[in-house]
Chain A
Amino acid sequence: MVERALPLDETLHEISVDVGRVPLRFPARVPWAIAMVLSLMLVGLFLVSITYLFARGVGVWGLNIPVNWAFAIHLYVWWLGLGHAGTLISAMLLLMGQDWRNSLNRFAEAMTLCAVVCAGIEPIIHLGRPWFFYWMFPYPATMGVWPQFRSPLEWDIWAVLTYLTVSLVFWYIGLVPDLATVRDRARRRGWRVFFGIFSLGWRGSALHWDRWRRCYRTVAVIAVPLVVSVHSEVSLLFASGQIPGWHSTIFPPYFVLGAAFSGFAMVAMIAIVMRHTFQLGDLVTERHLDVLAKVLLASGLMTAYGYVFEVWDGLYSGNVHEIATIHDRFFGIYAWSFWGAVFFNFVPLQALWLRSVRRNTVLLFLIATSVVVGMWMERYMILTTSLYKDFLPSSFGIYHASFWDWSTYIGMIGVFFTPFLLFVRYIPSISIFEDKEVLAREHEESGNG
């Protein structure tokens, strides 16, 4: 018999309570406060870093010619990749009718939002003259000059903006009914006004539910190809150049898979942490983690295939420069990033073939972490190894991340966590009504069966 997403002894009301209490009577004040303070400190670091950056110029980073893209761009790819899981989980699994998603999608989407915001900041602060970033939008300027729509960078701007907006509204309309639930549970007037406003006066009318479903599914249907398109375009930012190691048709699928891979890992990490901190064990069950781990394994294997194929692609091309780049990735001075990516993305992952490991939260957490690290290295590898030795030996040069590279990146982690912490604090971080739906269905099944 199929394993249930939720335990039967749970009642609808308990779900409301379990989830609703998180915002209303916050269970984990102390750990949350600590986390918040830490992440605010990181935000401070970030602000200091970009202040210095804007004051002095992008030279404060370790960039040079030829390696004139490094941290900002590879982190842009990395953050965006982390983000994709949220949309995939909520949209794709919704369409596939995967019940287990309902306990994960809400905070997965929130994670997406935070990640996309970080991803959006990176390319703007990496500009030589960030105060002119708006020149990338088509507005009737007195200069009479327009943006250049053949540029992959132009594509990316629109892709990221669209993705940010879509993720936001998708997350929000899913949230409205739950905000209503919390509104009705709330005692203090402040809370009731707060949730009252953001639930827009949702009443759960059958007619509204009907429209809501159509709408939610429509958005889901569109969101899936969107994810694919967004990261494909990110990959085109590289593939459109003729630089060896970039100029390859494998890039779009390769990037999308890697993105999903790292994203699922991120979701797993967050799921495990929240499950422990907020005692949501009844809602985020072992089965959830188990399924998540399977997805992680699957996407990981696909990514590994991507690696193999990329190397094969280069060798098969017979192009001296491509082959040189591959050789360089294996043995060059940045080989650590290549082998690091291979190791962290592939080796620990294999443990997930074992059911026991999939259900062991600690191990799963560690494996997920290694994947996130591995993908970080992969993105770094793709940028530097291709740029620092491209065609002409007289132009080869090396790159070392400077202090400000690191401080900006580490600070950015705070920019990611601060809004996310606010979300888990003040907003039902698990979809209440969708879990109720599942539970009700299971009650029926058990009733009939």
Chain B
Amino acid sequence: MSARAPDGTGRRWWQSLEELAGSESFAETIKAEFPSLFEMARVDRRELLRVMGASLALAGVTGCKPAKSDDAVPFVNRPPGFEEGRIDHYATAVLTDGFAQPVLATTVAGRPIKLEGNPEHPASRGATSFLTQAALLDLYDPDRSQAPLLRGTTADWADFDAQMQRWGAAWRANGGAGVRLLIAPTTSPTLIRQIEQLKAALPKLRVHLFDPLTGYGADPVTEALGAVQPLLRLENARAVVSLDDDFLGAGPAQVANAGGWAKRRGDVPNAERIRLYMAEATPTLTGANAQHRIGVRPSRVPLLAAAIGAKLGIAGPASGLTAEEFGWVNSAAAALLANRGKALLTVGRHSPAPLHSLAASVNQRLESSAIEYLEPIALVPDASYLDLVRDIESGQVAALFMFGANPAYAGPADIDFAAVARRIPLTVHAGIHYDETAAISAWHLPVPHPLEDWTDARSIDGVATIIQPVVQPLYDTRSLHTLLAGFMTDEPPPDARAIVRQHWAERLADENGWNAALKMGFVAGTAAKPATVSPRPMPIEVQPPPGGIEIVIRPDPTIRDGAGANNGWLQELPKPLTKVTWDNIIAISPATARSFGIAASGEPASNRCPMIEVESGGRTVTGPAWVMPGQPDDVATVYLGYGRRGVGRVGNGIGHDAYKLRTAAAPWTATGTLLAVPGMAVVATTQTHHRLEGGEEVPFVPAADARYGGATDGESIYPRWNEGERAWGMVIDTDLCIGCNACITACQAENNVPVVGKKQVYEGREMHWLRVGRLYTGQPDNPGTMFQPIPCMHCEQAPCEMGCPVHATVHSPDGLNLMVYNRCIGTRTCSSYCPYKVRRFNWFDYTTDAPPSIEAQRNPDVTVRGRGVMEKCTYCIQRIRGCAVAADIDNREILDGDIKTACQQACPTNAIVFGNLADAGSAAAKRRASPRNYALLGELGTRPRTTYLARIEEGEEQA
């Protein structure tokens, strides 16, 4: 294949476990190679490493005396293909909301240590979202449930099978009367097929969907358009009008949408540039990246929709727009009309059906090529969660199987599921955690993580990926496929691989096709077919704006509905706009804040936010009030996902549970009142400073003539150091960065960056090597927002190096600002002198007593830093060195693109480019030559190797 492994040593792209499976010795291989993985949670790390037989660099930096000899433990039988320290890349996928996120899993000694995007996959093109990156940590989550539990006490699968056989027999007899499945969203063709078979076998069985991210009742999109899967094609869009649709925000389509958006940003001709009009009820990433944004109360959104519809001759005229709204509607509608074919009107997933209907009609009228409607990809349920509750209350449910669903936590507040569930004779919960729902179920069954199990799934464009395990299951789990199969047979159900293989039997008849699909990471030709939609005409009812405060309910920007709550990487990842970690806040506008006598959040010295209480329908939540620039007045936004009780040590008991404000009827909005309550909350934010800066750090250049005067290298009195044939450098295009944070999580995963917890972050000690600076311009009520990823600049004349008394940070001939942990004595002079403050310090020992399973994730090519040493972005030196060694071994040059830094590889918009500046042909050198190129704080004469491309200012409308 074209690309090489990032570290240059993996000669085996697309290598799949199947090849090993071919040989008889596969079984012994697994036994010899991974036994400790079964034990991992219990055995100590030494034991684990021994059996791994791999020399992992897990210990921290130690003193002068070299460690005494360790034990070397070879195999009894060396598994074929095993090579000490070899790095393999298996094509597979992880799931976001049931949709496949195609990845290449980097594994060392049988442990996946990093997920990269699959460059061959049409939907992602090698990029990943922060959710995909963080999915790896879920695999190693020490709080995963590890054995079946019967009423909370450890049971045996045998016990369950015995039960299941009795139930199965009975149900097959009565056609499955009263048996219900409550299942989280899934796109697995195998699973969907199994469910069909199940329903054939048990005609009376019904399947309900539980998805707190879309709502609890009927899906508005289906209502308006029938069962279809909308798919944005932003690469075809010239003008996009979004009514509260955060399509650049976290979610299964984030990578694809961001990729398409980026194709019309940066160096495209001004006429081809995407124009984004956003009307939103609360600030989102999409709004932050929109040129024309207004914040409106949620009750106004239908009105705006109607108004736009009117302009395009659909739906009746709308009256009562404010001047601002009127202006926005006019320019938005004008832009739509002016770009027929390349125009797009999109509405939020949570909007009522009539808006979806309207949007579809508008797009059809505009012959928009920027959106496709595909045949449904995800499971289409028989009924909704509300239907289920109704049936339970009417006593029709005898047995409820909940697969990945957690209604006890994520259900609406006006349904007390715990109480409801008591009316069901048999409740079975299958999930990755022993969560709130498991706690009230008769049976809890642990299910495997996608990385340790056979299954399949489809990405948002419908392309199917066969998900193969890249590690022996860590715990005694059982896949959903096997569980479902158990309904239909008396024999011990077949294992997941057999079921999946059987499902693909006709399409991938021969082993070659099967192996090819596994190696490629997806099944060619499975993209979803276009569906014809005829939007049901639905009147848009515009309610008069309710009195009091309107409450907007949104998934948390990082842990979303709460499923990610036990993931340290997600918890410590700053929310893109607020930069808050480990917590959810209640966002209110500056004006509203003033009316409650609350000062602007997060000015230094006030990481403490006043508490505020949101009340709706007699239910209240109390949380830190966050003054959010761009938030509409009299609107309070609360975020779901926190206040969990049953997810694990990381996620339990932090933040407040905003589900308390959610009603089954209106899961996304509510009306109520705000009440300032006494007390301050400590909010750990990584950017304490929120003043409106203007483009000092991120300058604007006019679209017409995109050049920036800023010199990269000032004059210096020092002779320039050796210009080798390798000069590593990075160029970041601020016009492409959407602030999604994928780079941060990718860096954290690649470089063993520790999670330090809320208190440390609050103290200003977060360890992320790369931060995404968030800058506001203009007025607080509707500011312009920009993002700027700031890694180490690798200055050619680095102030930090000058300050170090022991040569612990020095410069390499190829232009890296090296950090030698084991030489560092921790004077911290380097960080004091660093104008960019990109260095991080190990204030305590953050690494030694991590759980063994966390240590198993660590990258053996990166030193795990001990207490008292400085660390910082290394440009992923382990990848550079690995590639250089590989190149030197066969005496060749390093090709441009061979080396990708972790952040670059993850970035969905290619905002980050890394390469050899000495090679004029390299992508990095070309970018650096761009007239938009500028050095951050270049006037200090540090000659940074990391430079930026200025942001392009919105040109006048090209009507």
Contacts and interface: CB of A to CB of B under 8 A. Distances in A.
Report A-B touching, CB under 8 Å: yes
Contacts of A398: 604-605, 607, 688, 764
A295 B558 CA distance: 63
Contact of B805 (A141, A157, A388): A157
A150 interface: yes
A128 B832 contact: no
B774 A148 contact: no
A392 B823 contact: no
B837 to A, nearest CB: 4
Given A66-B831, A153-B803, A57 B689 contact: no
A151 B829 contact: yes
- Between B771, B827, B829, B832, the greatest number of chain A beta carbons within 10 A of the residue's beta carbon is seen for B832
B78 interface: no
Interface string A66-85: 11110000000000000000
B605 A397 contact: no
Contacts of A396: 604, 687-689
A174 B637 CA distance: 75
B826 A58 contact: yes
A361 B698 CA distance: 60
Contacts of B696: 320
B417 interface: no
Interface stretch (A129-137, A163-171, A273-281): A129-137
Nearest to B693: A393
Contacts of B942: 242
Contacts of B799: 241-242
B868 A127 contact: yes
Contacts, number: 176
A74 to B, nearest CB: 12
A394 to B, nearest CB: 3
B868 A129 contact: yes
Interface stretch (B174-182, B347-355, B841-849): B841-849
Nearest to B866: A129
A390 interface: yes
Contact of A240 (B803, B831, B837, B937): B803
B832 A64 contact: no
Contacts of A59: 760, 763, 765, 843-844
B839 interface: yes
B836 A391 contact: yes
Given A129-B825, A242-B940, A394-B689, A333 B807 contact: no
A65 B765 contact: yes
B697 A392 contact: yes
A440 to B, nearest CB: 51
Given A136-B805, A147-B806, A394 B832 contact: no
Nearest to A66: B837
A128 B841 contact: yes
A26 B942 CA distance: 62
A152 interface: yes
A145 B843 CA distance: 25
Contacts of A448: none
A65 B868 contact: no
Contact of B835 (A56, A65, A67, A242): A242
A390 B841 contact: no
Interface in B752-809: 760, 763-765, 771, 773-775, 788, 790, 799, 802-807
B870 interface: yes
A237 B836 CA distance: 18
- A interface secondary structure, majority: loop
B594 interface: no
A195 B408 CA distance: 84
Interface residues of A, number: 57
B204 interface: no
A128 B942 CA distance: 26
B478 interface: no
A154 interface: yes
Interface in B594-650: 604-605, 607
Interface string A367-395: 00000000000000000000111111111
B121 interface: no
A151 B765 CA distance: 25
A229 to B, nearest CB: 18
Nearest to B826: A128
Nearest to A132: B825
Interface in A142-163: 142-143, 145-148, 150-154, 157
A153 B827 contact: yes
A391 B607 CA distance: 20
Contact of B764 (A129, A136, A141, A397): A397
A357 interface: no
Interface string A316-358: 0000100000000000110000000000000000000000000
B258 interface: no
A394 B805 contact: no
A129 B764 CA distance: 20
Given A69-B832, A392-B836, A241 B764 contact: no
A61 to B, nearest CB: 8
B828 interface: yes
B326 interface: no
B837 A392 contact: yes
A393 B691 contact: yes
A318 B605 CA distance: 28
A153 B837 contact: no
B457 interface: no
Nearest to B842: A128
Given A148-B804, A240-B803, A333-B604, A127 B825 contact: yes
Contacts of A242: 799, 833, 835, 940, 942
A237 B825 CA distance: 17
B687 A129 contact: no
B867 interface: yes
Contacts of B63: 131-132
A35 interface: no
Contacts of A387: 832
Contact of B843 (A58, A135, A142, A153): A58
Contacts of A399: 764
B64 interface: yes
A63 interface: yes
B845 to A, nearest CB: 7
A128 B825 contact: yes
A392 B790 contact: yes
Contacts of B687: 393-394, 396
Contacts of B823: 135, 143, 145
A183 to B, nearest CB: 44
B832 A243 contact: yes
A126 to B, nearest CB: 8
Contacts of B264: none
A65 to B, nearest CB: 6
Contacts of B763: 59, 62, 64
B760 to A, nearest CB: 8
A56 to B, nearest CB: 6
B771 A394 contact: yes
B824 interface: yes
A122 B604 CA distance: 28
A129 B824 contact: yes
A390 B807 contact: no
Interface in A222-252: 237, 240-243
A154 B696 CA distance: 35
B869 interface: yes
B836 A395 contact: yes
B688 A128 contact: no
Contact of A152 (B607, B691, B803, B835): B803
Contact of B803 (A64, A241, A389): A241
Given A57-B843, A129-B824, A392-B773, 12 more contacts: A58-B843, A68-B828, A69-B832, A128-B825, A128-B867, A147-B807, A148-B807, A151-B803, A154-B805, A391-B835, A395-B837, A397-B688
9 contacts: A57-B842, A63-B828, A65-B765, A132-B63, A145-B806, A157-B805, A240-B803, A388-B604, A395-B836
The 5 closest A-B pairs by CB, nearest first: A128-B826, A128-B868, A59-B843, A394-B773, A64-B764
